[in-house]
Chain A
Amino acid sequence: MSGGPLAWAGGPEPLGAETRVRSFRRFLLLYAAARSWLWVAFSLHDRELLVLAAALASAGFALCWRRDLEAWAAPLGLLGVGLQTVWRFPHGANHLYLELLALALVALAGRGARPDAALVLSGLRWLAALVLFHTGLQKLLYGNYFHGDFLAYMVGTQERFANAFGWVLPATEIARLEGYDAMRTGAGPYRVAFAPFVLASNGVWLAELGLPVLLIARRTRVWGALGGIALMASIQVAALELGFAFLFLNLLFLSLPGDWNRRLLPAFALVFLYALGAAAGWLPGRPERWQLM
């Protein structure tokens, strides 16, 4: 890899960029295949197209384990997820676009020659940093986090948020927020006079703007990744968005020493298997509520 901003996210790799990209590719194709089959399980329309997309992603995942064919894994996954993106447009969630972008980058790794893998690894680290930065910037631009309005609105309208903040906010405040009719003009104020709540609200966007800088700089990359993982974990307490969380965590793992993509792959595989089993009705649970898709 030559100089320029892409090189900022590079540097010596004790593990080898090829190993890191290979491990991430296996996670990414597992994620694409499992999510695609969950779509098949829960969609009422266009099942033939969704089955085709899921089959392409699954074939990609299978190819990840054959050194001579692994270069075709991401292009196959990209084709499957691309079909789903077009089919779902404009209702695709942001993490579907993130998945598509990650697949496009990994597809460029080809057979995993070291310079190509180093380039793709830098690209993936930049992707994580840019997405995190933009989530913070958007919160800053919309202005609904300064006084905690958005979180208060979510507490008032979403049971998950009310439960998560139940241990912080007095019950009377939660009851007040839940009492507003959010479909009526003038409803509110969705504000809470409780400093830790407002601090937490501002802490989210400040962390999202600050952590990407740490993620890119070589010396602070590990701290950026650990901060990002802590942020993801705390967000999941209220907003259960497992699909985005799994994908983003694996992007962050690329900035940690050690091959965490490989080490935790079996754990992610188990969660997906459980979700698919529950979707088929063989296991208890409601995976459609876990936002894995």
Chain B
Amino acid sequence: MRKVTICLAVVGAMISSAAKAQLADEKDVTVTMDLQPVLELEMNTPNQINFTFDEINEYLSGIVQYGATDLKVSSTVSWDLYAVARSSGVAGQWDQQVAYSTGGSAAIPLSALELHQRGVNPSYVDAALASPGVSLDYSNPFTSTVTTPVANNSVFYNVDNSNTAPLISNKYIAGHKGTVTDFVLGGSYLTAVATGGVSESNFHYTVDYRIKPGLPALFSNAQNPDNATSDAMLTYAQPGVYTMYVQYILLEDQ
């Protein structure tokens, strides 16, 4: 009798647990998302910016083109922005189009061009640690010192005239070499809010240009991208017409 009772209990438990199963049905919606990287640099600038030095005071104090270039960034990925000076002739030097004289040297360094960006590079912590005391962006104001050259604003260039990204001790406009903290998070000038008391956000930069030949015209503010060696000429610049160009490059942080 006891065995029968145990059997009944087991069967009962099985029936009871089977009865707990509930009818169900399901339908799946699989969402496939294709996140394509989008980097947009909107630039507002004249095709050509002219600096004409025809007065002594212009050689001494230089010529500044304020707000000549306006840069607006939209990016879906973390990004860096840099400027690189280039020419098509001798690497590291302006291209001479016309010579007005036979005297002097035509080897004007690309770094004779100075840039000033409105707003500080928002992210170069690692670069600053690796290169203490070095100017890592173009936010320093143009100096008016006549006697002592100050090289904070010399434009970056590559010795092979390429547009390779600057190294850790070189200047970026925003972000920097390195992927730990030296980048600006994705976003857009359309939605970003300015912070830190500046009128532009981290996605909007206005660039001023200056060329200051000095007397004699040696371009003493010109500095090599290594931030240590002066590019100032040893012989005065040959009078003439010279050209070079600046590329602004927006790239995913690296």
Q: Do A and B bind each other?
A: no
Interface, chain A (partner B; CB < 8 A): none
